């Protein structure tokens, strides 16, 4: 994790770690898009994300990946897992998405997951975080009936993405 924050303020402390735009968008892509490879993060980026690896404190290289120790080529092949700290950014992502959908021009396909997550509120955020912990940290997910939060987000996106293609 980065060094001592500039001040003892909790909001400042958060934005010092995640406040640069690219870091947050890379985390978004890992979180929602399941894009675990850095190469894919770059190539499929909606915003043309530059070649910038996420911070070690929020996304850790896995399966022997060596984004920080290795060279550039190795870096592009690395695979990321979200850390617990990154997973706990789900509520921040939900509130940012709610705000963006309300105050800025967006497209239905790229807005629908943010809206679904914002409207789902803390109960859905908890489900989504539990599922991300299973995917990224190998933790156990208690079985439950009905689609998971991950599935609900993915199918809402897929339905609109299919429409947009026709």
Q: Is 70 in the site for a copy of itself (CB under 8 A)?
A: no
The interface with a copy of itself within residues 78-97 (CB under 8 A) comprises 85, 88-89, 91-97
Tokens of 28: 């978004």
Q: Is 126 in the site for a copy of itself (CB under 8 A)?
A: no
Q: Is 51 in the site for a copy of itself (CB under 8 A)?
A: no
Tokens of 69: 């120790």
Q: How far apart are CA 7 and CA 68, in angstroms?
A: 27
Q: Is 100 in the site for a copy of itself (CB under 8 A)?
A: yes
What are the DSSP calls for 55-97, one per residue?
PTTTEEEETT--TTTS-HHHHHH-EEEE-HHHHTTHHHHHHHH
Return all residues near 160 (Cβ < 8 A) that are at least 6 apart. 108, 109, 112
Of 21 and 56, which CB lies nearer to a copy of itself in the complex structure? Answer: 21
What are the DSSP calls for 100-118, one per residue?
HHHHS---HHHHHHHHHHH
Q: Is 123 in the site for a copy of itself (CB under 8 A)?
A: no
| Closest distance to a copy of itself from the beta carbon of 31 (Å) | 10
| Closest distance to a copy of itself from the beta carbon of 165 (Å) | 15
Q: Is 107 in the site for a copy of itself (CB under 8 A)?
A: yes
**What are residue 81's DSSP bridge partners?**
60
Binding site for a copy of itself (CB under 8 A): 1, 4-17, 19-21, 24-25, 28, 46-48, 85, 88-89, 91-111, 114-115
């Amino acid at each position: 994790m980065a060094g001592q924050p500039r001040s003892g303020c909790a909001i400042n402390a958060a934005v010092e770690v995640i406040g640069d735009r690219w870091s947050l968008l890379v985390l978004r892509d890992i979180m929602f898009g399941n894009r675990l490879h850095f190469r894919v993060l770059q190539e499929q980026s909606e915003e043309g994300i530059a070649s910038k690896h996420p911070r070690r404190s929020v996304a850790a290289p896995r399966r022997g990946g060596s984004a920080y120790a290795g060279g550039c080529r190795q870096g592009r092949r690395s695979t990321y897992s979200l850390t617990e700290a990154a997973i706990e950014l789900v509520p921040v992502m939900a509130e940012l998405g709610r705000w963006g959908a309300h105050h800025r021009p967006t497209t239905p396909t790229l807005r629908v997951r943010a809206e679904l997550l914002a409207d789902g509120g803390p109960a859905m955020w908890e489900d989504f975080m539990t599922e991300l912990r299973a995917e990224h940290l190998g933790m156990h997910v208690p079985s439950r009936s009905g689609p998971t939060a991950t599935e609900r987000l993915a199918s809402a996106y897929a339905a609109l993405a299919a429409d947009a293609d026709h």
